[in-house]
Amino acid sequence: MSAADAGGYTQAASGVVIIGAGHAGVECAYALRTAGYALPISLISAESCEPYQRPPLSKGFLSGAMDAKRLALRSPQAYEKQDIQVIIGDPVLSLDSKRNSVITASGRHIEYGHCVVATGAQARTLPKLQGTNVYSLRNLDDALTLQSKLTGACRLLVVGGGYLGLEVAATAVKLGSSVIVFEQSPVLMSGKVSQHTSSEFQAMHDQAGIRLMRDAAIDRWESLPNGGWRAHLSDGSTHEGDVVLVSVGAVPYIKLAVEAGVACDGGILVDEHFRTSVPNIFAIGDCASGYRPELACNARVESVQNALDSARAAAAAIVGQPPAAKRPATFWSEQHGRRLQIAGMINPAQEVRDFVTATANGWLVERYQQDLLTAIEALDSPVEFVKTMKLIGSVKAPLGPILPTHNQETTDAHS
Amino acid sequence: MPIVRFLLPDGTEQALDVAVGVSLMEAARQEGIEGIVAECGGGAICGTCHVHLQKDCFDRVEPAGMTESALLQIVPDASETSRLSCQIIMSEDLADMCVRVPAVQLEL
């Protein structure tokens, strides 16, 4: 779509309603104002606190190094200054795409010219593991609850050895908890990172005293009289803990969109401008699923970069401006004080060849598919990251030693 | 609350109350100061919250760590008093400091 043919959607009389006030929702509101959008903007959050950033919830905030006021994305005065109406603690109950309006739990009825769905994703739960002392980590309340449990004597069981589970494990062990991580695949951060990065992180967690159960098949969970849990593994071993964190991925929150008749398939389907199947409804951030040429399919991407870029692209389409140039997807994680940055995504259907180089403080992995640089990983090497990221999609594989790795699986990360 | 003055690329100035213990980047983000992108949220890994400090303030803050120093080598418009604002934590000692925001940040 060019700027000209976006004209049909511009500046509809009732303004923009943004459902969800995470990174994506807040950025969209600001990007609209920066682009000169003059009509009312309502930013609606189901949560009762000021809009905040989520990445620290498993890291600095959970460890106590960072207090809640530092999580706020913007101050209340900043929204006022930009004339953005922020509605908190009032979930949207229905999105009526025929009447162009939303209705909230408190009975607010807001009409829109454009609606932006930025509802994010919820933690995936396990049907056989529910009840006392079983937690997920997606929002501030989850983090506060988990934080209150992670005292020195706590035995924490983490189900899922992806970014989130490992970040919490690293934070918990620092707080004095003893930690066991169950991962069903043979490697940590399976499908997200190279074999090199995965095994190096495994060594870090081992060294920190975290017990890693890889290839773990959990047959059954037993609830104990003291409120704790016992995991029974298929190899006959059992493992007890006081608190369980379930970190097995997220499910997009698409209920409002589905009920509004918006096309969804594992996420709210969007075009390159983040427009849904309903012309004046957009979807951005974790809940949106758009075509990813690098993967040759639709995919949701859970990352701050994707939240920000999709928010800016939707804002540009609403005001009728051309979109910014596309950037590779980027992700980051922090475990045991080491910072991992990733750019680009690996197509699980194609062979990957990894080229690992040592850097001053860590390492750089260049990942090639079909002879082209497709993704990179950098540990504590932000300069190498920035420089190499610019080469994604344009540089051919080097002739040096390349370590073959197995195919990867999924695409979403959480930071 | 201590005040920090941000000199913006368009020549205007914006004074912010910055709570002790909060980073300059966080204060700038919360007030929606354009020009401080801060994509990584404060980890000194993205290099998009570059600012110029006054010399006397620069000398008073903890020196940059290794990754921050490396990033400061590649940010546009770097000077001798360049820092990443996510690494400057507000203290009473820094009250009334003046910080210049560059016209462009590192392009990611």
Q: Are A257 and A273 in contact (CB under 8 A)?
A: no
Residue A412: pLDDT band by 50, 70, 90 thresholds? Answer: very low
pLDDT at residue B38 in the model: 82
The mean pLDDT value for B67-85 works out to 94
pLDDT at A62 over 80: yes
pLDDT at residue A410 in the model: 39
Tell me whether residue B91 is in a domain: yes
Domain limits of chain A? 4-122+250-319, 125-246, 330-405
CA B89 to chain CA centroid, Å, is 10
User: What percentage of chain A carries pLDDT values higher than 90?
Assistant: 88
As a whole number of Å, the CA-based R_g of chain B is: 12
The mean pLDDT value for B81-87 works out to 96
pLDDT at residue A11 in the model: 42
Q: Are A219 and A126 in contact (CB under 8 A)?
A: no
pLDDT at residue A413 in the model: 42
Is A389's CB within 8 Å of B108's CB? yes
Residue A223 tokens read as: 């609830």
pLDDT at residue A347 in the model: 95
Tell me whether residue B107 is in a domain: no
Alpha-carbon torsion (A97, A101, A104, A109), positive or negative: negative
The CATH number for B20's domain is 3.10.20.30
B 2-21 near A (Cβ less than 8 A)? 19, 21
Residue A67: pLDDT band by 50, 70, 90 thresholds? Answer: confident
Query: Testing the interface with B: which of A43, A52, A70, A304 to mutate, by most B Cβ within 10 A?
Result: A70
Q: Are A332 and B45 in contact (CB under 8 A)?
A: yes
Is B73's CB within 8 Å of A34's CB? no
Q: In this predicted model, what pLDDT tens digit does every residue of A148-191 receive, in sequence order?
A: 999 878 999 999 999 999 999 999 999 999 999 999 999 999 99
pLDDT at A15 over 80: yes
Q: In this predicted model, what pLDDT tens digit does every residue of A24-34 receive, in sequence order?
A: 999 999 999 99
pLDDT at A339 over 90: yes
Number of domains in chain B: 1
pLDDT at residue B108 in the model: 76
Cα separations in angstroms, A308 against A113, A281, A364 = 22, 18, 25
Q: What is the ipTM of this complex?
A: 0.90
A379 chain-B contacts, CB cut-off 8 A: none
Per CATH, the homologous superfamily of domain A125-246 is FAD/NAD(P)-binding domain (3.50.50.60)
How many whole angstroms separate alpha carbon A353 and alpha carbon A331? Answer: 20
Residue B65 contacts A where some CB pair is shorter than 8 Å: no
User: What percentage of chain A carries pLDDT values higher than 70?
Assistant: 93
How many whole angstroms separate alpha carbon A147 and alpha carbon A46? Answer: 22
Nearest to A112 by CA among A13, A210, A226: A13
At the top level of CATH, which class does the domain A330-405 belong to?
A: alpha beta
Residue A401: pLDDT band by 50, 70, 90 thresholds? Answer: low
Tell me whether residue B105 is in a domain: no
Domain that includes residue B34, residue range:
3-100
Instruction: Give every CB contact of residue A207 below 8 A, 6+ residues apart in sequence.
Output: none
Comparing A4-122+250-319 with A125-246, is the CATH topology the same? yes
Q: In the block, which residue shows the tokens 């009409």?
A: A111
Looking at residue B85, what DSSP letter applies?
Answer: G
Q: In this predicted model, what pLDDT tens digit does every residue of B39-68 receive, in sequence order?
A: 887 888 888 999 999 999 999 999 999 889
Tell me whether residue B80 is in a domain: yes
Residue A282: pLDDT band by 50, 70, 90 thresholds? Answer: very high
pLDDT at residue B34 in the model: 82
Q: In this predicted model, what pLDDT tens digit does every residue of A289-314 receive, in sequence order?
A: 999 999 999 999 999 999 999 999 99
Looking at residue B13, what DSSP letter applies?
Answer: E
Residue B71 contacts A where some CB pair is shorter than 8 Å: yes
Tell me whether residue B66 is in a domain: yes
CATH architecture of A4-122+250-319: 3-Layer(bba) Sandwich (3.50)
pLDDT at residue A69 in the model: 84
B18 chain-A contacts, CB cut-off 8 A: none
**Average pLDDT over all residues of chain A:** 92
Q: In this predicted model, what pLDDT tens digit does every residue of B13-48 receive, in sequence order?
A: 999 999 999 999 999 999 988 888 888 878 888 889
The mean pLDDT value for A320-338 works out to 93
Is B67's CB within 8 Å of A380's CB? yes
pTM given for the model? 0.92
